[in-house]
Structure 1
């Protein structure tokens, strides 16, 4: 009898201790949950569930639900399904358990069971939009899988490690740099995240080699990466500013994601600065992206005023700071979560959502805006979307190809990067803005006007280039501009094409402050008579005067040092006047032109660009007679040819803007002849 009493006592104490331990696990789990450490919270709730007697049905149901909620948040889909089923089995009192169970089953590709649980939930909440969208998704997903779109996708093993890699972002003048977020072992810090159970994310970069192949990602070496979670980066159109998300750790407070900026100095990124979007300190701000025109910063937040869950917002980026915030509203935002916005350069917005009709988890969507500002939203369907989370697209320039993130097929819910491509007929124009006889002009702007109503202002990249999508059967006019330079106009007619085609335009801008060479102007031997081969260059000069109707110029001719000084002055004067006569004959007003012959008095000063063609010359060398005679004979002839030139320089930029323009200078053609060494 004493033996049985003793055994009963042991069992009682064991069960009592288990009950106390279960309560302790719940308290620990609640603490972890409150600060967003769902991985740690899930472990505690699971222990509490296992230590709770089956007869305590209410407690078991509540603890199973809490564990399921954590598993759902960290993408442990299979465990979430099991825990939600346990919660339902133990009569968890809130019907929401059926909604989340259906969500997880849909995310697991089990559309039949998900449909059943959506229907159960809708009996309690018949007007729930998210449940109705989920129900519709269970019907549409199998149809989309049977009829895939033209998109093709491919795994990218080189870009992925054994943990999570996500949020790719292409940048660079040639889209030859790929930034991504990774939790691979090389990430900063040694502790595992209480949110996910793996390392905190850092920003890495992969570059293309000379053969166009992507290299293994390397950690970005700057203060951007820290012991905290960093990721989801984006860039300003000029590539000089990075926006990224950082989520800090605090054992006492919830984790709120915030957006930081970093500016590029030389080849490295500077110290990050917090971007204060609002004074709200109790909301998250994440997933930044910049509109193609650089005017708007789009981001994700759960701040008050949204439609529910996480919404996509935007704020204007001004010269003197940020403007007010705007919620994109319907039809983009829903009562669910809209996340990871990104842009294709043509202005189309891409984002992910679990609130629209989709295949499960986060689906990828495309949003187009018409001339009235109205958005239309389209699901990208299969194979871009799957039953898992599909998100964070980035594009290779204007092409409908690039990279995106997905956790499809990964039982642990870890994210990986895949590439995508969709065949299409893409018509583009690529242009270069550069100084005449000089280098690219990265500060240039190109104005683009089409007879279809197009009216755009295009910024150029660091190499002076721009690429823009164009439409068939449209006439375009492009005006290349840059401060300190004359304008240059190009016209383009785009024909219908059944294949992709790129048109190429050159915007060679003439300086306002420095002499500009008129290349390929030729005269008859020892004469001022223009040859037929000069026509193309002179016609270009006529066009330049037409494109810049408010300038007056000095048209100058120069000789080499050979021959008598007086003869060279007279010959160069006649040659300058010959060019002026040609321009007048082709419609340029006489009072906009001043011909001057300088003979040999102004030898050419070498600019840097010319040293690439003639390595024996150096920047700022002046081709005087003394300088030239020290050179070998072959190099002397090159320098003499460089000195024999026709140039112009801008005198005024206000011609025709006032009532009494300056009177033109009169230059009398010299009639006196002299004998000298002939000038070519």
Structure 2
């Protein structure tokens, strides 16, 4: 034995072990800081570990997150990029979303969209992915919406963080600031971002030019040594709702993990001082409730929270305020407004419009400001208010006086005095807050390709109720109005032809026309020889009804073909079919038989319920992997595309 070589190997092994142990010990300390949201302290250790040559997906995640959650998205890009490029198979979909947001921050919009495409594939029914898919032309819309405000930098901003402006209806502007007070000898630093804690300040608004006086701390017992931020005032200026850390009666409270969260408080004005500070009853030590916004009549309070029924990092809620000052139950504003991301900092204008900041809806990067218009059953879809208010950085805490069209918001964009800065603006043009869409196309003969003037095109909702109809012109063209974000069935008819139907899913793009050509098969089924055992899908030249791997739900592309089956069954009331569902060979034989049964039942249920077809005309069962259409049997390597050919449903004529 070569003893020198032996001892060298032992020494190297010991060095590697010591190095690994040392790194793990340092990472454990960093993780402890990270769990307390002490991102800056955690990051210092993570960066040292990374510099030493250590690499792992968890390390790259934590470094990227430490920048991301401190709104330093441009610095998170490189770390998320390492994560995606080196550990793509080991990351959760959420990191693709964060990567996309960070790319937008540095205006790499094409790369950001590619990351969102991957996020969509992996995230399932995530609302943020759905909004991205339905608003692919978001940059075009934001360009249309832009240029409706003129901005002005304010001299009240400090070198620290200034944000959350609000009107107190006494001719003054209230805002939150982490600036050092006049008499402060020591200012406590918040370990999240090593910035001083926030207090509430007040400035007088002077004259038509709306100049602001030197800010002073508001009087009373609202400000503490912890965070106080966003405020909302009653119209008489005598009541304020505000955000503070979980601190009341000189006691600081935390959740079960030892983290101090945010709560809402209410105070009343006694002369020039705020008194009678009380915690609102729907707060909790276990989740945050923050950023209040009163309706113009004072009967509703809006706020942001991550309470148990929230969809994402924070959702927007409303709650009734009764005449005696008590409250109803919090109500989530729903999927039109809330996503799996951050919806926060609501503001309700006098006309009832909801302005808020979000990174879940599609924007330019970071938090963008959106507006939703009140409707009979809630709010419209949100509309990005465009540049220059929105940017690739965080833009938030928007307030507007609709009479003067003057307002304020905050942003951490470059060119400011500090971490966050307040800007004033003048609105010069109304926002686009309606969604106009159309469906248009040409009706032709499926075989000759000749246009079919004088045909009828009928628009139906997804329950087959007629909404409108139109006759094709001399060139066979039609055009119908549709709403945004809805499902429709478009049916083409002409005497002597079988009716045809297509499914239409509208998006949220403005002034958008969906192109949907329709083809009618000459003579329909009457001119074809039919016999039991024929596949109706082949006779009608339908696309095969495919299913996703290990799933039994009806895909959107499958709905289009099923609507054609429904139309045929309606036109030929004596026709009966047997639905036969098949799987690929992956997974066990018994499981595949069970899965195919679910798929058959799902297909039959869709035809009966959506098409209002008598259930006696539809039978069916699952065949598992017993009728493969290609070589892809057990243990034979095949591509995903080859396997998908076996995940299908057939429609065999029985009568």
TM-score by length of 1: 0.56
Change (3 A) 1:62 1:372: closer
Correspondence for 1:309 among 308, 313, 317: 313
Q: Does 1:284 align with 2:264?
A: no
Change (3 A) 1:15 1:137: farther
Q: Is the 8 A contact 1:95 1:121 kept in 2?
A: no
Residue of structure 1 in register with 2:75 after alignment: 79
CA distance in 2, matches of 1:172, 1:263: 14
Q: Deviations over 1:556-575 (max 9, x none)?
A: xxxxxxxxxxxxxxxxxxxx
Residue of structure 2 in register with 1:614 after alignment: none
CA distance in 2, matches of 1:39, 1:196: 6
Correspondence for 1:418 among 400, 423, 427: 423
Residue of structure 2 in register with 1:131 after alignment: 129
Change (3 A) 1:411 1:131: farther
Change (3 A) 1:88 1:151: same
Residue of structure 1 in register with 2:224 after alignment: 226
Deviation at 1:119, TM superposition (A): 2.5
Deviation at 1:294, TM superposition (A): 0.6
Residue of structure 1 in register with 2:54 after alignment: 53
Residue of structure 1 in register with 2:20 after alignment: 19
Change (3 A) 1:419 1:209: closer
Change (3 A) 1:410 1:82: farther
Residue of structure 1 in register with 2:66 after alignment: 70
SS in 1 for 2:195: coil
Residue of structure 1 in register with 2:352 after alignment: 347
Q: Does 1:181 align with 2:176?
A: yes
Q: Is the 8 A contact 1:261 1:274 kept in 2?
A: yes
Q: Is the 8 A contact 1:202 1:219 kept in 2?
A: yes
Q: Does 1:191 align with 2:188?
A: yes
CA distance in 2, matches of 1:376, 1:132: 13
Q: Output aligned runs, 1:601-620, within 5 Å.
A: none
Structure 2: runs of 5+ lacking an equivalent: 247-251, 431-655
More displaced 10-residue stretch of structure 1: 233-242 or 388-397? 388-397
Q: Does 1:241 align with 2:245?
A: no
Deviation at 1:214, TM superposition (A): 0.9
Q: Is the 8 A contact 1:22 1:52 kept in 2?
A: no
Q: Deviations over 1:212-267 (max 9, x none)?
A: 52112222233211121110111122211111111257796123111112211111
Q: Is the 8 A contact 2:160 2:418 kept in 1?
A: no
Residue of structure 2 in register with 1:167 after alignment: 164
Q: Is the 8 A contact 2:145 2:386 kept in 1?
A: no
Residue of structure 2 in register with 1:41 after alignment: 42
Residue of structure 1 in register with 2:301 after alignment: 297
CA distance in 2, matches of 1:145, 1:413: 28
Deviation at 1:160, TM superposition (A): 0.9
Deviation at 1:182, TM superposition (A): 1.0
Q: Deviations over 1:137-164 (max 9, x none)?
A: 77423663477332212222x1211121
CA distance in 1, matches of 2:269, 2:131: 44
Deviation at 1:31, TM superposition (A): 1.9
Deviation at 1:15, TM superposition (A): 5.2
- Aligned CA RMSD, in angstroms, stands at 3.2
Q: Is the 8 A contact 1:75 1:412 kept in 2?
A: no
Change (3 A) 1:338 1:212: closer
Q: Which has the larger radius of gyration?
A: 1
Q: Is the 8 A contact 1:61 1:89 kept in 2?
A: no
CA distance in 1, matches of 2:379, 2:172: 33
Residue of structure 2 in register with 1:541 after alignment: none
Structure 1: runs of 5+ lacking an equivalent: 55-59, 426-680
Change (3 A) 1:320 1:123: closer
Residue of structure 2 in register with 1:380 after alignment: 385
Residue of structure 1 in register with 2:341 after alignment: 336
CA distance in 2, matches of 1:412, 1:131: 35
Deviation at 1:44, TM superposition (A): 3.1
Q: Deviations over 1:60-90 (max 9, x none)?
A: 2211112212221111212211211222243
Q: Does 1:263 align with 2:268?
A: yes
Deviation at 1:199, TM superposition (A): 0.9
Q: Is the 8 A contact 2:156 2:214 kept in 1?
A: yes
